[in-house]
Amino acid sequence: MTATTLAADQLRAACDPASLPFETTATLEPLDALIGQDRAVEAIRLAAQMEHHRFNLYVHGPEGSGRHSTVLKILAEEAAGRPVPADWVYVQNFDDPDRPLAIELPRGEGPRLRAAMTALVEDLATQIPSLLVSEEYQNRRMALEQEFGARHETAFEELRKAAESRNVAILRTPMGFSLAAMHGGEIQKAEVLARLPEEERKKLQEDVAATEKELEDFLMSLPELEREQRSAISRLNEEMAKVAVDAALTLAMRGFETMPALAAHFKALRADLIAHADLFLSLERGKANDPFPAELAALREDPRFHRYAVNVMVTQAGDVTAAPVVVETLPTLANLTGQIDYIPMQGALVTDFTQIKPGALHRANGGFLVLDARRVLTEPFAWDALKRCLETKAVHVITAAERLGLIATTTLEPEPIPLKVRVVLVGDRLLHLILSEFDPDFGQYFRVAAEFGDDMNRSADSVGLFARLVATVVARERLRPVSRDGVASLVDAATRAAADQQKLSLRMGEIWDILREADHRAGKAGSAAVTAEHVRAAIEAAERRRSLTRDRLREATVRGIVQISTQGSVIGQVNGLTVSELGEERFGAPVRITARVRMGTGRVVDIEREARLGGPIHSKAVLILSSFLATRYVPNTPLSLWASLVFEQSYGGVEGDSASLAELCALLSALADVPVSQSFAVTGSVNQMGEVQAIGGINEKIEGFFNLCREVGLTGRQGVIIPQSNVTHLMLHTDVVEAVAAGRFHIHAVASVDEAIEQLTGLPAGKRMLNGEFEDGSVNANIEVRLLDFADARASMLQLRLPEQTEDQNEG
């Protein structure tokens, strides 16, 4: 029988505190870098330094590996060497108000321009009304009114005299003008005129008609005269407004004269201010009865004056010395590309360029934008909008309502702002694969991928770096220094998390949570440093907090509700080992696997698969068992077997192949009619050659069976059979190691199914000899004899049926 028993020192790779050259982490130099992620760091730096717009970055790796913190740290370093980006503002497009203009300004000039325009409007709100009530203005306006009044009276007087020369009088009435015939210089009544000679009366009627036509022409000319008067007054107002506008604008433009981007805007602004000077007059008239000056706040809120405002979309004013690094935690369409708000006014929704709000792309322009990949993809329209902005190298403000066609009102089309940004998506590996496979645009704009690993090699150097990393966290979070044995315990925890004696887990989030809780316990104990005792207590407490389900399942097993035997021997029954994950809780538990056999047609029935509880990997494992049986035994005889396999008291899905060794052992026991020890639990995968392969969750599985055996009573015969290739993954709790060292529990590592069946039955598995038969008295010999018996019995049944069929055919 092959020696398979593992020694206690093979079950745990404990870090020796004496190997650490320090007393506490207080004497260690903090580590200013992440350990074990050199490839990821290199990829992040490449993306951060590249200028080409396609070299955006996708970062993926396990949770707690430091993805976000590392990305932000590197981006902050790169941003410090980049120039502070310019300001961007939106202003009124006086030619097309629905298409606001975007203007780039030097850093910090956006708020200053906004303040200057606010002051300009406030100044004109006072100066323009003041000018238009000045004595000079009133005199010039009175002169214009008198001039046009004189022209009106002169024309009317000429018309009146011409009428009188024809003996026609023009009379003013409340309803306008009327005409009356005159005779002898006096207005005559109709009956008097009727007595006039026919020729004279006819002449008088013709004169009245001619005067009526001239009066009509005169009245028709009055609107034109009034228009001329209004135009003249408007020119006067404009001339006077120019004085106020030029004076106020000259003051507002101070410091902006050298900015070419503003020249065209100031020119259009001046023309519009002069043309709409009456806005300021209407404001003043509205405040005429107010004993106080117009409220400046009300002036700023008046939508009529928004056209002269400046909407600062992004500014880098203040003590900013680096390019921006923006983290958008809720990447909706509006939060990414900005939005346009609407104001309810008189029952309708209206908007203007001052209602444009910036998004993360505006704030990150000239720097870096960090997004959660899954959240971007789940927000409606966000992913498409992001790709469009990257494609056009500009930020387009488009609302979701517009995309859906829900807004039936006037909206805006702001001029896109040129975009120069490095986008960093942080997600998982599966999402990266899906995007690479199914989104043809993804590879065009995200050319770099930074993959964070799960673990790193454990060596003296890496343990030293780990200790310095502990010192860094202690200093950053102001924790108590950690003693050398405390660091050794954290190293052991990292090895346990990696599930490999030669590795350290890089899921540092879990390790730092242990450190923080250990620091809390050290504080409660009044200790100046965090020791191994505090670390172990923190680990045990965290495990206890999340172990309710595990303990309830173990209790049900101890009470016999879940049937698991830890003593005795049974044919066709093996204790398998499973791992369950419920949130953060991960624990192992035994499960009874049984097999039944009889003569048949060579079929192995997987009851889990038949009941649709078995996953594809588990079904594959059972098919491998069928292949193993068909090729190992009775190679020259058809396999005349019917067998069934089942996980007893399993009411949920079964997936994975880690129970295939246990299933095969149960099947071999049933075929050989040899009992297997119930003191053992078995885990491992098996291939078609009968070789045992490594599986996952090895530590939890062993500990799950050990805890059950300890609960019902250790006999010194109990143990676990595991794959030989899993020995390097053992990082068992100290209570298991101590039990193994004391001979109260055993762990066997096997490389083949023969080694496993020998441990379970106490009989030799048996090798095939030169005569082609297995050794007498071996398990394999018993199996082959049983299968030959099945084959003979089946052949006899077929021979008995054949004559009956022939006789039936003859009768037919």
pTM: 0.79
Q: Edge-to-edge strands of the sheet including 176-183?
A: 168-173, 176-183, 186-187
DSSP string, 730-790: ----HHHHHHHHTTSSEEEEESBHHHHHHHHHSS----B-TTS-BPTTSHHHHHHHHHHHH
Phi/psi class of residue 465: alpha, beta or left (left: φ > 0; alpha: ψ in -120 to 50)?
alpha
- The 3-class secondary structure across 562-587, one letter per residue, is CCCCCCCEEECEEEEEEEEEECCEEE
Pairing of strands 368-372, 325-328: parallel
Q: Is there a common fold for 37-84+321-452 and 563-725+747-791? A: no
pLDDT for the residue 793? 87
Which one, of 312, 410, 414, 328, lies nearest residue 369 by Cα? 328
- Within 189-348, residue ranges assigned H as helices are 190-194, 198-252, 260-275, 278-286, 296-301, 333-337
In sequence order, the 6+-apart residues with CB closer than 8 A to the CB of 735 are 706
d(CA 367, CA 85): 8
In CATH, what is the architecture of 37-84+321-452? 3-Layer(aba) Sandwich (3.40)
Phi, then psi, of 16 in degrees rounded to 5 = -80, 115
What tens digit of pLDDT does each residue of 662-694 get?
999 999 999 999 999 999 999 999 999 999 999
The CATH classification number of 8-33+454-545 equals: 1.10.8.60
Which one, of 453, 386, 390, lies nearest residue 418 by Cα? 390
pLDDT for the residue 493? 95
Which one, of 468, 474, 425, 335, lies nearest residue 56 by Cα? 425
- The 3-class secondary structure across 129-180, one letter per residue, is HHHHCCHHHHHHHHHHHHHHHHHHHHHHHHHHHHHHHCCEEEEEECCEEEEE
d(CA 752, CA 249): 92
Per domain, the residue ranges of the chain are: 8-33+454-545, 37-84+321-452, 109-311, 563-725+747-791
What tens digit of pLDDT does each residue of 222-238 get?
677 677 767 777 777 77
Amino acid letter at 666? A
Residue 513 CB coordination number (10 Å)? 13
Place of tokens 């008198």: 146
d(CA 530, CA 25): 10
Helix (H) or strand (E) holding 797: helix 779-811
d(CA 112, CA 315): 10
- Within 393-478, residue ranges assigned H as helices are 400-404, 429-438, 442-445, 460-477
Asked whether the beta carbons of 422 and 57 are under 8 A apart, the reply is: yes
For 296, the token pair is 């400046």
Which one, of 637, 639, 659, lies nearest residue 648 by Cα? 659
Residues designated as active site? 658, 701
Phi, then psi, of 647 in degrees rounded to 5 = -90, 110
In sequence order, the 6+-apart residues with CB closer than 8 A to the CB of 785 are none
For 402, the token pair is 């517009």
Phi/psi class of residue 347: alpha, beta or left (left: φ > 0; alpha: ψ in -120 to 50)?
left
Beta bridge partners of 592: 575
Cα distance from N-terminal residue to C-terminal residue, the chain? 62
CATH number of this structure's domain 563-725+747-791, picked from the four choices 3.40.50.360, 3.40.366.10, 3.30.230.10, 3.90.1150.10: 3.30.230.10
pLDDT above 90: percentage of residues in the chain: 54
Which one, of 553, 642, 619, lies nearest residue 591 by Cα? 553
Which segments in the chain show pLDDT lower than 70? 1, 132, 134, 157, 160, 164-198, 200-201, 204-205, 207, 215, 217-219, 221-222, 225, 229, 282-301, 405-410, 801-812
For 483, the token pair is 């003693």
